[in-house]
A and B are shown apart, each in its own frame.
Chain A
Amino acid sequence: MTAILKVNNVKKSYRMGKVLVSALRGVSFEAEEGEFLTIFGPSGSGKSTLLHLIGCLDRPDDGEIFIDGANVLKLNDDKLAELRLNKIGFVFQFFNLLPRLTALKNVELPLTIRGIPEKEALSKAEEILQLVGLEARMNHKPSELSGGEQQRVAIARALINNPKIVLADEPTGNLDTKTGWEIVQLMRKLNEERKQTFIIVTHDPHIAETADRIIHLKDGLVEGIKESPRRG
C-alpha cells in the first residue's frame, strides 16, 4: 500500500499570552491509503494541532507534510484551500454546520465552492445523505436535528468531494456514548466501503481501539504506534 500522508518531524508552537507553548515537538508518522487511524492522547498532547496541520488549516513551524505526494509547505494559501476542498474532508467535535442552511445545503456547500452546477450538486448531496442514513431529514436545519444526526450531516459533507483523507476531531466528544459509538461504526463502515483514509483524533480509548493503528501522542511527541488487534 502507498502512503497517502507523510508527516516528517513536524514542530509547531504557539503563543499563549507571553508563554511560547510547544504543541508538537517533532512528530513523524505515515498513513496508508484506505487506512483507519486514530490519534490518541490526553488533552494538551497536541492531537488537535496535529490534525489542523494535516488538514492544511495551519502550517508547521518546521518539518514536512506530504499529502498525496504534495509538499504542503510549498503550497500558497489558495493551493492549500484547493487541497482542503478536493483531498480532505473535515468532521468536527461541534459539528460546525452552517445553522441557516438545511442539511442538504450544508452537504452541498463544498460542491458549490467547487463551482458544480446546483442541480448536479443537490442530487449528489442527496446521494451522500442516503449513505449516512439521513435521507428523511435532509430538509431540516441543524437546530432541528439531534447531535448524532448533525454529525452524520457533517460526515456527509466531509465525503461529498470524495476526498482522499477524512479527518475527524473528537467526532464523538459532543455525543452520548451510544450515539458516539454509532458514529464511529458509521465511519468505520464508510472506510471499508469507500477505501478512504480516516484519521480520527480521540481521547477515548474505546474509540481508539476501533482503528487499524493507534498513534499515541503525549506532550507533543509520538509515544508509540500500536497495531490494533482488529487488524489482520
Chain B
Amino acid sequence: MRATRILAMAWDNLKQRKLRTSLTTLGVVIGITTIIAIASLGEGFRSEVRQRMEQGFELNVLIVFPGSFTAGLRGGFSEADLEDIGRINDVNATAPLITLPTAELYNETGAKLGAFTVGAVNFTEMKEILPLRFRLLNGTFPQSGESQSIVLGYKASVVNETVVAGAGDNVSLIVKSSSGYVVYNSTFTVKGVLEKGGTSGITNFDYWAFIPIETALEMPFFKGNSEPYQIILVKVSDPQYAENVGKNIENLFPPYSVTVFVPSALMRQVDNILNIVQMFLVAIGSISLLVAGVGIMNIMTVAVMERTREIGILKAIGAKSRTVLGMFLAEAVLVGVIGGFIGIFTGYGLSYGLAQVLSSVMQPQRQETVLQAPETRSLTLNPVFSFEWTVIAIVFAILICIIFGLYPARKAAKLNPVEALRYE
C-alpha cells in the first residue's frame, strides 16, 4: 500500500473523530508550546546577558595583575615585563596603568572632585585598547609633553549634577601618605571629560581621573622604582585567542606571581551556566510532551480495541501486518506533526507575550553603592526565533508520537484476523 494513501486514510480516520483528535493534539500543542516558549525566552535572556557582558567587559582585553590572590600581591611590572608580554603572539597592544588610590582632587574653589582613583596612563594606548571607554564628552586628550594635564571621568567632573571642574579648569592633585602627610601637591589643567561609561564590568571609569603616565613616573614615590606598573592591559587580535594569550602571559612569570583576568573565560562560564539552566528548563517543559505521549498511547489503545473488527476486515482482504501498523502509526505521526506546528506558533506567540509582561515587571532597581552607581538600563527581553529549536521541537513531537504510538499500533498489527473478525 502506498504511503500517501496510508496517510490519506489516517487523515480521514482522524477527521472522523474530531473531538478526540483535537484533544489528543492539544496535548502535543501544550508540550511544544512550553518547549518553544522556554527555549526562545531562554535564548533571548542569554543574548541579553551576553550583550550586557560584552558591553561591560571588553572581551579582547586581558587585565594582568602582579602577584596572585592566594599568594599575595607583589610590587608591580617592569618595562621588561611589558615588552615580554607585547611579544606574545596575537597580542596587538599593551598599556600599563599606575594608580594613585590615595590621591585627592580639588577645584579652584576648594571643592572636592568626585574622583575616587587617579590613574596614570598613556592616553594613545588606552584609546586603542579601550576605545569605548576612552571617549571624550568634551575637550581633548593631552598631547605629549603636556605633563600637567588631567582627564576626568564623568562623575569626577559632575558631582550632584553640578559641574565642579570642566575642560580648561585647574585642579590640584594632592597625595597623602598613610600617616596623613601631604607627599605630593601639584596643579593640573583639565583637558577633557570622558563620556558616561554606564554599566561596567571590572570597574567604572566614571569615578576615575587620568594623568599622563610620564608625570606619575616622575613623582617622588615612583621615581627609581624598577617595577612601577600595577596593571597591564593587553589587547588581543581576537577574543577567541584571549585564553591562550592569558596562559602564555602566566608562563612568562614564576608561578603565582601574576594573575590574568580573561573576561571571555568568565563570559564562557556564564554562557555555560545559562545554557545548563536553559536545558534544565526545557527538560522540565518536555515532561508535558511526555504526558501528551501517554495520552496518545491511551487513546490509540482504545482506538485499536474499538477498531478490532475493522483491522480483521483489512487483514482478511489482504492487508499485511505492516500496512496495519503503518495506518495506526500514520495517525500518531499526523497528530505529532499538526500538534508540533501549532505548538511552534503558540509557543513563539506565548514567548512574545511573556517577554512583554516580564520586561515590564522585572525592571532592575537602581543600585547606589559607595564606590559605583552604574547607570541601569531597562531590561529588554526579546524572545529569539531559533530555526534549530523549531526543528528540534517538531522532530521531538513526531518522535514522541511514534514512540508512544508504536505499542498500540503493534498491538493492532499483531491481531489474529479470525479472532478480530469475531470481535463484537
Contacts and interface: CB of A to CB of B under 8 A. Distances in A.
A80 B2 CA distance: 19
Given A98-B313, A100-B12, A112 B318 contact: no
B148 interface: no
A52 B418 CA distance: 7
Interface stretch (B112-120, B192-200, B319-327): B319-327
Contacts of A52: 418
Interface string B1-43: 1100100010011001000000000000000000000000000
Nearest to B2: A115
A22 B56 CA distance: 88
Interface in A128-154: none
B418 A113 contact: no
B417 interface: yes
Interface stretch (A25-33, A60-68, A85-93, A190-198): A85-93
A94 to B, nearest CB: 9
B90 interface: no
Nearest to B9: A112
Contacts of A43: none
A174 to B, nearest CB: 14
A224 B312 CA distance: 32
A82 B318 contact: yes
B231 interface: no
Contacts, number: 68
Contacts of B416: 58
Given A58-B418, A98-B310, A100-B16, A113 B318 contact: yes
A52 B331 CA distance: 30
Nearest to B424: A94
Interface residues of A, number: 27
B126 interface: no
Contacts of A77: 320-321
B313 A57 contact: no
A57 B317 contact: no
Contact of B417 (A57, A82, A85, A97): A57
B5 A112 contact: yes
Nearest to A100: B16
B88 interface: no
B421 interface: yes
B315 interface: yes
B1 A115 contact: yes
Given A52-B418, A58-B418, A96-B313, A81 B318 contact: yes
Interface residues of B, number: 25
Interface in B280-336: 309-310, 312-323
Determine which residue in A52, A55, A112 has the highest number of CB atoms from chain B within 10 A of its CB, and name it: A112
B418 A84 contact: no
Interface string A184-227: 00000000000000000000000000000000000000000000
A81 B416 CA distance: 12
A118 interface: yes
B321 A81 contact: yes
Nearest to B416: A58
A47 interface: no
A157 interface: yes
A24 B322 CA distance: 31
Contacts of A84: 315-318
A102 B368 CA distance: 78
A96 B309 contact: yes
A84 B421 CA distance: 15
A69 to B, nearest CB: 19
A109 interface: yes
A96 B316 contact: yes
B319 A81 contact: yes
27 contacts: A52-B418, A57-B316, A57-B417, A57-B418, A57-B421, A58-B416, A58-B417, A58-B418, A77-B320, A81-B319, A81-B320, A84-B317, A84-B318, A85-B317, A92-B421, A97-B313, A98-B310, A98-B313, A100-B16, A109-B314, A109-B317, A112-B2, A113-B317, A113-B323, A114-B1, A115-B5, A161-B318
User: What 10 A-B pairs are tightest by C-beta distance, nearest first?
Assistant: A85-B318, A81-B320, A84-B318, A57-B417, A96-B313, A113-B1, A110-B317, A57-B418, A58-B418, A115-B2
